[in-house]
A and B are shown apart, each in its own frame.
Chain A
C-alpha cells in the first residue's frame, strides 16, 4: 500500500465527511408567549394608545390597560402557516355579562385569528400577522325581568398588523398591534402594545404598589422574589388597572 496514496485518500475522505458534518447555528422560531390557563402565569399586560386626530371623549375612545391573551395555533398541513389567536379581557367580560342574551355560537368567533406571514422572524426580529378575523358581539334587544327594555348592544374588535418580537432575550414576550374598536356605532383606532406576563401591582391598601413591578428581589424589604418581568422592560404600575405596564416602546432591546 503506497503511503502517499493512503495519505491522499485519508485527506479526501476526511474532507468529504467534515464538509457535511460541521453544523450551523440554530434558526430562530416564532414563539408566542401563552395566555393564562388554570391559574398559571401568562397573558400580556396591554396598553391602548388612541391614534392621532380622534376625539378622546367618545365612548369607544376610553379603553383601559388590561390583560390580552395570545396563543399560537399549529396548522396540520406543513405548507399552511401557523396562526395566532387574540382576545382581550374586556371581550371575555362582555361575553360573560351578556351570556344569556347572546345567540348560541357567539363565543365560537370571539377569538380573532390570523396567519403568520412567515415561519421565522423577519430581519427586524418581528413575527408578523397582518390580518386577523374581526370579532363582532351583537347582543340583541331583550326584556328585563322587571319588564323594562334592554337595548341592543354592538361591540367589535378588529386587530391588524400584529407584530410579536422574537429574540432569545425577548422570546415572544412583547408585541405591538393596531386595533379598530367599535362600540354601538362609535369607532376608534388604537396603537396597542403589550408585555408578558401580567403581574398584579395591587398593594395591600388596594392602591398601586410600584415595588411589585420590580424585577429584582429585595430580601431586606421582605420581597423574596422579583416580579418575573424581563429586567429589560421599563415598567410602571398603572393606577387604574393595577397591573405592571410598559412605559417605553417595543422592542425594549435590539
Chain B
C-alpha cells in the first residue's frame, strides 16, 4: 500500500512544517470604511481595534488610503470596535454581533478634535452580510435557550444532536435520515464541525451527532456558498464548538422527557394480525456538565464538556386470535367460515389472548464529550485543537436496539407490528455506533493581515456494529451467531403455520382445539426463528487536510483572493456475515427451503467454497483545489468569481481502482450590490455548480460484487425445525434440488458476484447546478427581511443499472453514455423564500419564513424516499428498465407551502429573576400520493400504475411548540434555569402517510394516457373501464384484488411531547 504511505507522509510533512506557529480559529470578518464627519473624505491610518469576550487578546488593523479597514479571522461573538485617528475624537461602538462565516460591514464617521462632539454620529450595528450570497440561518445558544428545539423521539433527540436544528432554516424539511435542504436528500449535505467533515464515510449521513450543549453556533447554509465548501449537492451545516473565554464559565444541566408526560399517539388502524406490537415513549434524557476558562489569560483557553444520554422506548407485543363466524349476522359476519370484521373499518377483528403480552424496552445509551484548547501565540497566529466523540450502544439482553433513523429497530413511528413477526432472538440485535473526532485548526496572518493562511487537519473515526443480542459476536461459532435465520412462510399444503407451532400460549386452547381450527384462528404467514441473519462489524475513517490562503490586493477596488487545496481519504472496513452461514426461507408450498444468499463461491461445477464472512476495506481519495476572487468593483459592487476542481477515486476491496471521477470543475459566479453602501441591504445573484462526494457503501458492494450462493433443499428430509437437521440433511447434495436448466454448468447451486461492476467509460461525476437570486434589507435594528429564489437541478446522476433483469449490473449515468435507453435521471427544485429574521437583542427575537417550492423528477437522491432504502448511488431507482415506468412526477419530498414562525421574549420580573417565553408555529402542505401495485420482477410495491403523484396529496400538517424558562440569579454569578418545552402543544393528530398500494397483485403500469378513473372503475365488478391488468393473467384485476386499506392512514403526526430541563450556570 505504498500509495497510502506516501499520502500519510505528505500530510505529516505539512503538519510538521506548519504546526509550530500557534493558532486561533474564526473565519468571520468585520470590514468597513471610515470617513471624516466634517467633509466626508476617507481617513487613512486610523487604528481600529476589535475586542470581544470570545476573542483572545485584541486585534488591531489600520485603515488604508480609501479609508477601508478589514479585520479577518474572527471567531463569532459580540464585538466592541474602537477607532482612534490622529486629530479625531476616538469612536467606540459596542454590541456588534458577529456570526460564524459572516462578513459585517460597519462604516463610521469620525469627528475631528476641533469640532463639537454634539454632531450626531449615527451608528447602530448592521447585520447584513455583504460579503456573500450564501442563504441560510444561524442558530446560536440564545436561540436554543428561548425556543423549543429538537423534539423528543426524533433522530438524535436523546443526546439533543445539532442536526435537529437544521430544520429551522427556510427551505429545509425533515426527511427520514436527517434534514433535506433545497430538495436534496439528507446524505447529500455536508456536516462540518470545527472545520472537519463528520459525514459517515459509508453512507453520507451525519456521523457524529454532537449535543447542542457544546455548540456555540450552527450555520445552516442552504445555497449560494463559495468554492471553499465543496463536495455537497445539498446544504452545509457548519458547526463551531464552544471555546472558553478569559473567565471561568460552566454549567451543570439535566434534561428529561419522562414517559408519563408524553401523550400517546393515535393508533393506526390496520387489518388484524395475530402478532401485533405498539411502542410508547418511556424515558429520554441527558445530563452533564461543561466548563471553560483560561489557563493563561488571553493566551490559552480550554473548554471541556461531558453529557451522557439515554433513550428508552417500551414495545408491547401482543398475541391475538381471529374470530371465525359460524353464521351470517349483523355484527361483521358476512357468512359462516369468514373472519368477523369490524363494521367501521372493514378490517378483520383480532381479539387479544390474555396473558400473552410481553413488554420489552428498546434502550440506547450514549456519552457525548468535547475537549478543546485554543492557543493565541500572538495577534497574528492562533491554534485550536478539539477532540470530541459520541460513543453509543443499544440493545442486547432482552432489549431491542435503535436503528439509523433514530427509531427502535422494530418500529416505524412507534408502530411495530410489521417488524415483530418472529422470535426475539431472530429479530433483535445489539448495536454500537461510536464516533471520535480530532481536529486541529490554525489561523495565521502576515503583512498586517494582508496575507492570511488557514490550515486544518482532522481525523473522523466511526466504529459501528450490528451483532446478535446474546453477545456471541460475529463469527465465534457459538450462540446466536451460529444459528441460521429461518423464515417460515408456507401458505398452502395445507396452509399457513399457526402461532402454536412457535410460541407457547398460557391457555393451550386459546386458538382452538384442533389444528384445523388453530390454522383458521391464529395463522402466521411469515415468522422468523433462529439468529438475526445479517450481522456486521464496521470501521470507518476519514482523514482530511485543508489549507487556504487569502491575499488582499487593491486594483480598481479591493480584491480578496483566496486559494486553497484539500485532500480527503476515506476508508470503510466492513466485515459482514450471516448467522449460521446460510439463512433459510421456506417455500410457499411448504415442500422446500431456499438459502438465498450465503457468502461463498463455486470453484468448480457444483463445488462450493463457503466464506464465514465477507471482509474487506474499500477506500476513496479525493483531491481538490480552488481559487476565488471577491472583487469589490470600485468599492460599489462585489463580484465573486471562483473555480473549484476535484477528483475522486474509489478503490475496491481488492485494492484496485473501481471508479475514477476526474474533471469535476465547479465554477461559481456571483454579484452582490449594496444599495445603501452601509451594510444594511444587498441584492445578489449567484450561479454555482456542486459535485457529490460518493460515499463508500457503493464501493463495498460493487468492487467486487458480493459472492453469493443459493440452493434449494427438499423438505422433508431437510427439516429446519428439527435440531441438527441443518447440519446433516440440509447440507447434502442428495437433498438439494436441481435448479439449473439442462444447459446450466452447475445444477444444484446458483452463484453470483465476484467481479467488479463494470463502469461506463463515459461516466461523469454526480453534480447539481444552482441559481440564486435575492435581496435582503435591514428593516429595524438587528432585523432583516429578505426574498430569495433558488433553482437547483441535477446534471448527472451515478446509479447502477441492469439490462438482464437484475443478474448483472453496471454503473453509469442513466439516460447518457452507454445507458441512453434508460430514462434521464432528473431532479429539479424551484423555491421562493420570503423571510424575516431578528437575532436575540433587546430581549426578544423573531423569525418568520414562507417557502413556496416545487420538487419534481424521477430521482429522490442518495436514499429512495419511496421506501427508505439507504444505498447511495445504488438504489433500486434505475435498476431495471421495467421499473422506471411512470416514475417521473412530483417527488415525495415535494412540499408546496411551508410556514415557519418563531418568536421569543425575555421578561424581567425582579432584580434577580427573569422569564423566557418562546414559541413557534409550523405548517406545511402535504407530499404527493401514488398509485402503486406489485411488480412481477421485484418484491414490494414497485409498479407505479399511474405517473408519480397522480393520487392526490396528503393534508396540511400544523404544529405549535412552546418554551418557558425561569432564570433565577443566585449568589454571585450563579444562575439557575428551569425550563419546560412542549412540542405539538395542541396535540394535532393529522395523518402524515397513507397506504399507497392500490393492489398487491402483480400488474402492468398504464404507460400512456392513464387517469385515476381507469383505476376507480376496477372497484365496480361489472365495469369494463378498468384498465389495470394483471401480469399473470393478462386480464383486468377483480375488485377483490384491490387493497381495502388503500389511502387509509398509516402514520400520524407525532403527539404532544414534553421535556423538562434544569441548568445551573456560572
Listed in ascending order, the chain A residues whose CB lies under 8 Å from chain B are: 1, 3, 6, 9-10, 12-14, 16-31, 33-38, 40-43, 66-76, 83, 85-89, 91-93, 95-96, 107-108, 110-111, 113, 168-169, 171, 196-197, 219, 224-226, 228, 230-231
Contacts and interface: CB of A to CB of B under 8 A. Distances in A.
Contacts of B778: none
Contacts of A19: 6
Nearest to B820: A231
Contacts of B810: 168, 171
A29 B651 CA distance: 15
Contact of B818 (A74, A96, A168): A168
Contacts of A26: 656-660, 756, 759
Contacts of A231: 821
Nearest to B20: A1
Given A74-B603, A168-B759, A168-B761, A10 B14 contact: yes
B1007 A69 contact: no
Contact of A87 (B20, B623, B710, B743): B743
Contact of A9 (B17, B601, B662, B752): B17
Nearest to A225: B882
Nearest to B759: A26
B18 A38 contact: no
B649 A23 contact: yes
B647 A22 contact: yes
Contact of A16 (B10, B605, B710): B10
Contacts, number: 212
A33 B1007 contact: no
A12 B18 contact: no
B1004 A224 contact: yes
Contact of A43 (B18, B602, B603, B743): B743
B807 A24 contact: no
Given A76-B603, A219-B1008, A224-B1004, A36 B740 contact: yes
B808 A171 contact: yes
Given A6-B17, A69-B740, A92-B741, A85 B657 contact: no
A225 to B, nearest CB: 6
B149 to A, nearest CB: 40
Contact of A35 (B453, B604, B745, B761): B745
Given A13-B14, A67-B741, A74-B609, 10 more contacts: A6-B453, A10-B18, A18-B623, A20-B6, A29-B704, A31-B808, A33-B808, A34-B808, A37-B750, A110-B605
B819 to A, nearest CB: 10
A110 B747 CA distance: 11
A7 B209 CA distance: 37
Contact of B807 (A3, A34, A96, A110): A34
Contacts of A92: 741-744
Contacts of B14: 9-10, 13-14, 17
A70 B751 CA distance: 12
B546 to A, nearest CB: 12
Interface of B: 2-4, 6-7, 9-11, 13-14, 17-18, 20-21, 446, 453, 545, 547, 565, 567, 569, 601-605, 609, 621, 623, 647, 649, 651, 656-660, 662, 704, 707, 710, 712, 739-747, 750-752, 754-756, 758-761, 803-805, 807-808, 810, 818, 821, 881-882, 1004, 1007-1008
Given A22-B649, A26-B759, A31-B758, A71 B10 contact: no
Q: Which of A30, A74, A226 has the most CB of B within 10 A?
A: A74
Contacts of B805: 40-41, 228
A71 B660 contact: no
A74 B746 contact: no
Given A35-B745, A69-B740, A73-B604, A169 B818 contact: yes
Q: Which of B704, B747, B818 has the most CB of A within 10 A?
A: B747
28 contacts: A9-B18, A10-B547, A16-B13, A19-B6, A21-B3, A21-B569, A23-B651, A25-B657, A26-B656, A34-B751, A35-B744, A36-B744, A40-B750, A40-B807, A66-B743, A69-B743, A70-B745, A73-B604, A73-B605, A74-B603, A74-B609, A85-B605, A85-B746, A92-B744, A96-B742, A108-B605, A228-B803, A228-B805
Contacts of A23: 621, 647, 649, 651, 657, 660
B917 to A, nearest CB: 53
A30 B902 CA distance: 61
A22 to B, nearest CB: 6
Contacts of A68: 743
B751 A71 contact: yes
Contacts of A71: 602, 605, 744-746, 751
Nearest to B1007: A219
A37 B662 CA distance: 39
Q: Which of A66, A71, A76, A228 has the most CB of B within 10 A?
A: A71
Given A111-B746, A168-B760, A37 B739 contact: yes
Contacts of B755: 29-31, 72
B623 A22 contact: yes
Nearest to A92: B742
B743 A41 contact: no
Contacts of A29: 704, 755-756, 758
Contacts of B11: 13, 17
Given A26-B656, A74-B601, A35 B741 contact: yes
A67 B742 CA distance: 9
Given A69-B740, A89-B742, A231-B821, A74 B707 contact: yes
Contact of B744 (A25, A30, A37, A196): A37
Nearest to B747: A107
Q: Which of B4, B565, B707, B803 has the most CB of A within 10 A?
A: B803
Nearest to A25: B660
Contacts of A228: 803-805
B610 to A, nearest CB: 11
A88 B882 CA distance: 30
